[in-house]
Chain A
Amino acid sequence: MVGSIVHQLTKGITAEEAEKAGLGAYYTDHGLDVYPQSAGGFPFSANAIACKGDPIANLQEDLAAEQKARATYEKLIDLCKDNPDVVDPLRFLREREIVHFQRFGEALRGVQDKLAEKRMFAMGNCNWNNNNNNNCQC
């Protein structure tokens, strides 16, 4: 969707129009292809794919990422406010980030419960079977 927006916003523009819009460098390197980069011109970086190998850390990262994406959409909506054809899909995309945030929050609570369960099971490892004593001290 975002690629489609960029494509339609640049469709058929001339080199001069690109340059005037601040896209001279972009036009030089990529023409009118849609190239994954930041607004500042940095090409897509795998740094964005934070994977820590820890479910809690990962889900917290995802919650923050959804909020950052929402904030970015709000800035874009502000910048594009004179063009309703652009604002409309941006608003839709912003709302999706909020739903994803909500679902990640629920998933995180589930993971926390699951990990708490595991810890209790580990405590039960101390000779449950051989020891009928409920006052296990370990």
Chain B
Amino acid sequence: MWSYNKILQYPIKIKNPDPRLAKFIISQYGGPDGELGASLRYLSQRFGMPDQKSKAILNDVGTEELRTP
């Protein structure tokens, strides 16, 4: 269940825009090794795990990764 908290895990306050850097950083949003892919991968894999610990880790790391895209 998705539930939004109006806060970031780490504060982001960029004083000077710099689109040159945005061009690279977007990769960690939706690129092959990015946060979106990671969160969806863990949340999809959790269904097939054989023990409680691995189910919990995939669920909880997937949830944390979902905070980061």
Q: Count residues on chain B whose CB falls below 8 Å from chain A CBs.
A: 50
Q: State whether B48 touches A55 (Cβ < 8 A).
A: yes
How far, in angstroms, from A120 to B40 measured CA to CA in the complex?
34
Q: Residues 13-25 of chain A: 1 if any B CB is under 8 Å from the residue's CB, otherwise 0?
A: 1000110111100
Smallest beta-carbon distance B23→chain A, Å: 5
User: With a CB–CB cut-off of 8 A, which chain B residues contact A58?
Assistant: 45, 48-49
Q: A6-B22, A9-B19 are in contact. Are A72 and B28 (CB under 8 A)?
A: yes
User: With a CB–CB cut-off of 8 A, which chain A residues contact B29?
Assistant: 2-3, 6, 34, 36-37
User: With a CB–CB cut-off of 8 A, which chain B residues contact A43?
Assistant: 30
Chain A residues within 8 Å of B, Cβ to Cβ: 1-6, 8-13, 17-18, 20-23, 26, 34-40, 42-51, 53-55, 58-59, 61-62, 65-66, 68-69, 71-73, 76, 79-80, 83, 85-86, 88-90, 92-93, 96, 100, 103-104, 106-108, 110-111, 114-115
